[in-house]
C-alpha cells in the first residue's frame, strides 16, 4: 500500500499505521515546517518528503492507495474569526473550480484554510487513475455553512468524534472518509490523572507575572476580534460549584483550569477555572491555553484508603472516612479556602489552607503527547516549543488508528 499524507506534521498518520502493524511500501508526506520534517525523519527515516502541498504532482508518484490529511483549521475554528475559505477581497470559495480559477488569476487568500482545495485537487487527480482510492480528511467542528461546503466537495458525510473517548482530552473533530461506516470509539475512561508525569520540572510552573501576562493577552486578543487568551476566575462562586461537583464524583485530584466561555459580546475567551469531567481542553499550539490548577494534589495523595466521601462548603473542603464504632462518618481532615471567615481549626483533625493563588503549571511536552495518545516509543528530538506546536496541530493517534483500522477488517 502506498500512502500520501498532506499537512503531515509529526506524521500522526504514520504513527497510527505503525500501531496497527501496517508498514506502507511508500509513505509520501507533504509538509513545509522544517522542525516537523526533522522530527518525522528521525522517527520514520523512510518517509518521502514532497514539500509544499500546492506543488504536489501525483502524476510523478506511484499509485496512491490511501490519501490522508488535516487541512489548516484556523479560519474555520470557533475560537478564531470564522471567515472560512475566502480571498483577501472576501470572495467565498465554495467549489474546486472557483479556487483553481482564482489561483490561476493570482488572487490571494485569507489565512490557510483555503488549502482544503489543494487536498481536493490532489484527491481529484488521484481518482483519475485510481477511482477506488481511500481517503481520510480531518478538520474542526465548524459552522454549518462551511461544513456543508466541505461535505459537498468530498462527497461523504463527516463523522464527529470527540477524542475524550480514547484520551484525557476534549477534542471534537470532523472526519470525512470512504473507508467504512465508522462507529464511535469505545470510551476508555481515561482522565487527566492517567497522563500526568510523576515528577515535573519547576520550569513548567507559571509565575504571577506570567499569569498576569495571560490576562493582558486576552485584552489584546479581544481587540483583534478573537478569543485567545485567559482570565483568572476566583475560587469562590461558580468555580467553587464546579469544584464541588468534581470532587463529589471523585474522578480526579488535579483539575484542568482553562475553559472556553462565550461572553455576551460573542467572544469566546479562555477562563482559568476548574473543569468537572477530569479531561483537558483541546490542546493548541500555545500551551498557556491549557494550564493545570493544582488543587489538593499532595494532600489527596496521602489520604487514607478508607476515605468515604468529600464535603465541600463555602468555607472549605472536608473529607470523611468510615468509623467502625459509629454508623456514620468521622472527620479525617479539613482544607479551608484562604478567604474563609471561619479559621477555627477542628480538634484532632488535619487542617490545611487552600489559597486562592494555587499553583498553576502548563502541561509538559510529554503530557501533551499523551493527550494526543502518541505512544511512548515515539522519540522526540525537537525543542519543547516545537513539541507543543506539533501536538496542538496534530491528530489524536488513537482516533486515527480507530478509523484506519477499518481498512483491515
Residues 357-390: pLDDT tens digits? 356 677 788 988 998 999 999 999 999 889 988 9
Mean pLDDT, the chain, rounded, equals: 75
d(C-alpha 38, C-alpha 392), whole Å: 17
**Grid coordinates standing for 321?**
472516612
Nearest to 299 by CA among 260, 256, 349: 349
Query: How many CB atoms within 10 Å of residue 368?
Result: 25
What the chain holds in terms of domains, given with CATH numbers, is: 2-189+366-408 (3.40.50.150), 198-295+358-363 (no CATH), 298-354 (no CATH)
3-state secondary structure of 96: helix
Q: Which pLDDT value is given to residue 219?
A: 61
Q: Which pLDDT value is given to residue 304?
A: 36
What is the pLDDT averaged over residues 104-112?
Answer: 90
d(C-alpha 348, C-alpha 164), whole Å: 42
Residues 198-245: pLDDT tens digits? 888 888 876 667 656 665 665 666 666 555 444 443 333 222 222 322
Among 123-132, 168-177, 337-346, 381-390, the least confident range: 337-346
Q: Which pLDDT value is given to residue 293?
A: 58
Non-local (6+) Cβ contacts of 258 within 8 A are 230, 270, 271, 272, 281, 289, 290, 291
Among 84-88, 100-104, 283-287, 367-371, the least confident range: 283-287
Amino acid at each position: 500500500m502506498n500512502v500520501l499524507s498532506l499537512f503531515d506534521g509529526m506524521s500522526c498518520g504514520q504513527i497510527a499505521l505503525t500501531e496497527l502493524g501496517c508498514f506502507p511500501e511508500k509513505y509520501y508526506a507533504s509538509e513545509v515546517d522544517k522542525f516537523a520534517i526533522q522530527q518525522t525523519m528521525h522517527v520514520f527515516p523512510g518517509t518521502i518528503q514532497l514539500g509544499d502541498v500546492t506543488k504536489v504532482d501525483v502524476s510523478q508518484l506511484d499509485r496512491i492507495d490511501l490519501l490522508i490529511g488535516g487541512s489548516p483549521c484556523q479560519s474555520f475554528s470557533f475560537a478564531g474569526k470564522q471567515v472560512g475559505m475566502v480571498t483577501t477581497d472576501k470572495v467565498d470559495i465554495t467549489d474546486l473550480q472557483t479556487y483553481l480559477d482564482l489561483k490561476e488569476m493570482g488572487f490571494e487568500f485569507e489565512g490557510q484554510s483555503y488549502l482544503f482545495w489543494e487536498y481536493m485537487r490532489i484527491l481529484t487527480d488521484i481518482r483519475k487513475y485510481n477511482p477506488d482510492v481511500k481517503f481520510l480528511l480531518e478538520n474542526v467542528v465548524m459552522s454549518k455553512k462551511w461544513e456543508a461546503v466541505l461535505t459537498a466537495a468530498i462527497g461523504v458525510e463527516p463523522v464527529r468524534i470527540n477524542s475524550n473517548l480514547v484520551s484525557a482530552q476534549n477534542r471534537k473533530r470532523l472526519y470525512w472518509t470512504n473507508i467504512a461506516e465508522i462507529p464511535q470509539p469505545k470510551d476508555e475512561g481515561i482522565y487527566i490523572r492517567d497522563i500526568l508525569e510523576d515528577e515535573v520540572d519547576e520550569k513548567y510552573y507559571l509565575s504571577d507575572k506570567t499569569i498576569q501576562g495571560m490576562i493582558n493577552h486576552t485584552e489584546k486578543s479581544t481587540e483583534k476580534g478573537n478569543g485567545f487568551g485567559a482570565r483568572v476566575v476566583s475560587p469562590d462562586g461558580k468555580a467553587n460549584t464546579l469544584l464541588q461537583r468534581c470532587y463529589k464524583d471523585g474522578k480526579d485530584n488535579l483539575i484542568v483550569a482553562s475553559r472556553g466561555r462565550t461572553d455576551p459580546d460573542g467572544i469566546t475567551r479562555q477562563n482559568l477555572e476548574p473543569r468537572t469531567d477530569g479531561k483537558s481542553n483541546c490542546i493548541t499550539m500555545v500551551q498557556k491555553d491549557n494550564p493545570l490548577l493544582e488543587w489538593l494534589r499532595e494532600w489527596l495523595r496521602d489520604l487514607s484508603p478508607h476515605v468515604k466521601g468529600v464535603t465541600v462548603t463555602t468555607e472549605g473542603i472536608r473529607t470523611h472516612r468510615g468509623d467502625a464504632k459509629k454508623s456514620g462518618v468521622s472527620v479525617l481532615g479539613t482544607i479551608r479556602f484562604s478567604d474563609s471567615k471561619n479559621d477555627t481549626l477542628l480538634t484532632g483533625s488535619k487542617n490545611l489552607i487552600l489559597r486562592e493563588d494555587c499553583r498553576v503549571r502548563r502541561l509538559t511536552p510529554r503530557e501533551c503527547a499523551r493527550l494526543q495518545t502518541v505512544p511512548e516509543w515515539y522519540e522526540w528530538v525537537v525543542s519543547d516549543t516545537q513539541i507543543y506546536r506539533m501536538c496542538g496541530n496534530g491528530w489524536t493517534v488513537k482516533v486515527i488508528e480507530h478509523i484506519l483500522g477499518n481498512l483491515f477488517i
